[in-house]
Amino acid sequence: MAEYTHGLRIEKHRLTLPLVWGAKSDLRMIDVFARVITRRDGEDLPYLVYLQGGPGSEAPRPGDGNPSWLKTALERYRVVMIDQRGTGLSTPVGDELLEMSVSEATEYATHLRADSIVRDCEAFRELLGVDQWSLLGQSFGGFCTTHYLSRFPDSIAHAYFTGGLPAVGRSADEIYALTYEKMAEKSRQYFRWYPDDAERMQQLHDLAFDGELRLPNGDAVSPSMLKSLGHLLGMSNGAERLHWLLEHDPWSNAFRHDLHDTLPFHLRNPLYLILHESSMADGVRTAWAAARVRPEEFDEDPLLLTGEHLMPEWFDELPAWRPWSDVANALADVDWPKLYDENALRLSGARGAAAVYYGDVYVPLEHSMETAELLPNVSAWVTNEYEHDGLRSSNGKVLRHLFELAHGERLR
């Protein structure tokens, strides 16, 4: 049965799938939910699967102008939006995971990575009865797309990446080391743009050091957590958002509430906390890589802000996070299987296009271009016009450009 909203036709699907793909003796099952979105009844267009960023976030909910690129996608495709396993309506992971033992919860979470997400996608492809479909991978969704090309290349007509060509064959240490370099550049650029904010950030750092910088619930924000506001600098309007936050009196309700909402990690999506580093693990153990490779200058200089760098001590500092500490530490000690196969990628014949953002602080240019070399038929478009959220912030321009590149059309 279809639903209709804002001129869109939305068809819902729910599959009950194995928690552990390929394990015949493991009978645990989960639900995985997807929406198929078209402009009208009976529209016979090919399918495009949107694989969102994360990990740990559900697909966007389609509505009036949301997401901003959807209208452009629907000109060529029926769009499939899957709530990746553990999120949204797909047997979501929440506090009930903590009712398991640490070993049980850790083992459960290991089955929620890109490799399992891709197997779920294959089940939906078979449900829809199509031999091939195309993929649009944003950020972590691009990591999923790259694994898809490593494992099931014949299922993919075109692959589109937006800020999502991952590092292949690189350690988590190497990836995070490079992202710190990018964040140092962004931090210095920010304080050149807003020199008065340097004094404000120093004041906040001093308050945090003294345990006086607090969230609305009274929890103290440590200096290292304060620095994580730098994650804003990787987005299109992030510098302005940080500047507007720093305008507020740090003792005001407005500042405390805005600070809480602006910090990058929250318990609404606990998978983002406990599985974030695993998304960088291509056959390695992460062992809290972002914390281990953090340069000393970031500890010494309050004006060097961090990005998507999770610190293990935050699980002890914030009371609401403490129940997740043991599971997070256990997952940091997992020897993760490889996600990408360089030879398979070279042989995949993958066609498509990738937006590679020149200043991307989350998925660095250098590693993305190494991966682009493995996919010669995926046109890499390097641009400094957009930040990591270019798919969303460009109102369809980035996606349209990728379509034109991939299909050899005259660029507008």
Give me the active site residues, please.
Answer: 139, 335, 388
**Contact between 138 and 165 (Cβ < 8 Å):** no
Q: What distance in Å separates the CA atoms of residue 388 and residue 258, rounded to the nearest whole number?
A: 22
CA distances from 328 to 33, 98, 286, 385 (A): 26, 11, 11, 36
DSSP string, 126-189: HHHT-S-EEEEEETHHHHHHHHHHHH-GGGEEEEEEES----SS--HHHHHHHHHHHHHHHHHH
**Residue type present at position 355:** A
Give the residue carrying structure tokens 């995985």.
32
Residue 262's contacts (CB-CB under 8 Å, 6 or more residues apart) are 229, 232, 241, 242, 245
Contacts of 26 (CB under 8 A, 6+ apart): 18, 19, 20
d(CA 18, CA 28): 6
- Number of other residues whose CB lies within 10 A of the CB of residue 19: 17
